[in-house]
Amino acid sequence: MRAGSHILLIISGGIAAFKALDLIRRLRERGATVTPVMTAAAGEFVTPLSVSALAGRQVYQDLFDLTAEAEMGHIELSRAADLIVVAPATANVMAKMAQGICDDLATTLLLATDKRVLIAPSMNVRMWDHAATQRNLAQLKADGVLVVGPTEGDMACGEYGPGRMAEPLEIVTAIDDALSSGPLKGKRIVVTSGPTHEPIDPVRYIANRSSGAQGTALAAALVALGAEVVFVTGPADVPPPAGVAVRKVETAQQMLKATQDALPADAVVCAAAVADWRVANAGTQKMKKMGTALPSLDFAENPDILATVSQMTDGRPALVVGFAAETEHVLDHATAKRARKGCDWIVANDVSPETGIMGGSDNEVTLITGDGPEHWPRMTKDQTARKLAARIAEALA
Ligand code: CTP
Domains and CATH numbers, the chain: 6-179 (3.40.50.1950), 188-396 (3.40.50.10300)
Give yes or no for a contact between 256 and 173, defined as CB atoms under 8 angstroms apart. no
Give yes or no for a contact between 135 and 129, defined as CB atoms under 8 angstroms apart. no
Candidate from 197, 198, 274, 331 with most ligand 1 atoms within 8 A of CB, to mutate: 274
User: Is 157 labeled as catalytic in the residue annotation?
Assistant: yes
C-beta of 304 in contact with ligand 1 (< 6 A): yes
Q: What is the pLDDT of residue 60?
A: 93
Q: What is the pLDDT of residue 307?
A: 98
Q: What is the pLDDT of residue 67?
A: 62
Q: What separation in Å is there between the alpha carbon of 247 and the centre of ligand 1?
A: 20
Q: What separation in Å is there between the alpha carbon of 241 and the centre of ligand 1?
A: 23
Give yes or no for a contact between 86 and 105, defined as CB atoms under 8 angstroms apart. no
| 272 CA closest ligand 1 atom index | 11
CA distance 210 to 195: 5
Q: What is the pLDDT of residue 153?
A: 81
C-beta of 76 in contact with ligand 1 (< 6 A): no
Beta bridge partners of 190: 230, 268
CB-CB neighbours of 169 under 10 Å:
11
Give yes or no for a contact between 118 and 86, defined as CB atoms under 8 angstroms apart. yes
Please list the pLDDT of the chain residue by residue as tens digits (397 residues).
666 789 999 999 999 999 999 999 999 999 999 999 999 999 999 999 999 999 999 999 987 775 666 555 677 787 778 899 999 999 999 999 999 999 999 999 999 887 889 999 999 999 999 999 999 999 998 888 999 999 988 777 777 888 999 999 999 999 998 887 788 989 999 999 999 999 999 999 999 988 899 999 999 899 888 899 999 999 999 988 877 889 999 999 999 999 999 999 999 999 999 999 999 999 899 998 888 889 899 999 999 999 999 999 999 999 999 999 999 999 999 999 999 999 999 999 998 888 888 777 889 999 999 999 999 999 988 889 999 999 999 999 9
CA distance 93 to 162: 18
Closest C-alpha residue for ligand 1 atom 12: 323
Q: Hey, is 154 helix, strand or coil? A: strand
Q: Which amino acid is at 207?
A: A
| 305 CA closest ligand 1 atom index | 7
CB-CB neighbours of 25 under 10 Å:
13
In terms of Cβ atoms closer than 10 Å to its own Cβ (0-12, 13-18, 19+), residue 232 is buried
Give the largest CA-CA distance in the chain.
Answer: 92
Sign of the alpha-carbon dihedral angle for 256, 262, 268, 270: negative
Q: What is the pLDDT of residue 268?
A: 98
Closest C-alpha residue for ligand 1 atom 8: 304
In terms of Cβ atoms closer than 10 Å to its own Cβ (0-12, 13-18, 19+), residue 381 is buried
CB-CB neighbours of 150 under 10 Å:
22
Q: What is the pLDDT of residue 384?
A: 93
Between vectors from CA 140 to CA 134 and to CA 143, what angle results, nearest 5°? 145
C-beta of 323 in contact with ligand 1 (< 6 A): yes
List of residues 6+ apart from 268 with CB closer than 8 A: 189, 190, 191, 192, 259, 309, 317, 319, 320, 321
Sign of the alpha-carbon dihedral angle for 34, 38, 44, 48: positive
| 324 CA closest ligand 1 atom index | 20
Dihedral angle over CA of 62, 63, 67, 73, nearest 10: 130
pTM: 0.70
Give yes or no for a contact between 203 and 282, defined as CB atoms under 8 angstroms apart. no
Give yes or no for a contact between 109 and 64, defined as CB atoms under 8 angstroms apart. no
CA distance 362 to 364: 7
Candidate from 233, 255, 306 with most ligand 1 atoms within 8 A of CB, to mutate: 306
Candidate from 218, 255, 304 with most ligand 1 atoms within 8 A of CB, to mutate: 304
- How many residues comprise the chain? 397
C-beta of 104 in contact with ligand 1 (< 6 A): no
Q: Go through 206-227 and write b for each residue having 16 or more CB atoms within 10 A of its CB, e for each that does not.
A: bebebbbbbbbbbbbbbbbbbb
